[in-house]
Amino acid sequence: MLSNNPPLSIATNVLAYDTIKAVRHSPSFHARAWRILDRWALNNPTQLRQMEAEGEITLLERLLIQQELEHQALCSEDGLNQQRLGLAEHEILTLHGISSCL
């Protein structure tokens, strides 16, 4: 599934080249954001395109917020303990009240 694809391979088929380039080259975004963007592109391609059409800045701001939320949940002591117990990332996010949907 997502883990077997190169970063942004799914999003590249959904979003404009300039948007992908902005995410790839911005120091604000890291691998977590790339995985989020691929997940959104896989699960909600129409909604993602619509958000991009409303403005690249809107999309990038939403992505930055989601990246921070997921990073905090997954890298917290609680999140790390849950990973050690075998919970998947989406399960940990749900337990922390974070939607993985766009």
As averages over each run of 10 residues, the pLDDT of the chain (102 residues) reads 78 97 96 96 97 95 97 94 92 94 90
What residue ranges do the domains of the chain occupy?
2-95
Q: In whole angstroms, how far apart are CA 45 and each of 42, 57, 99?
A: 6, 18, 17
Would you state the pLDDT for residue 2? 52
The pTM for the full model equals: 0.90
> What is the reported pLDDT for 5?
79
Cα 3 from Cα 92, distance rounded (Å):
17
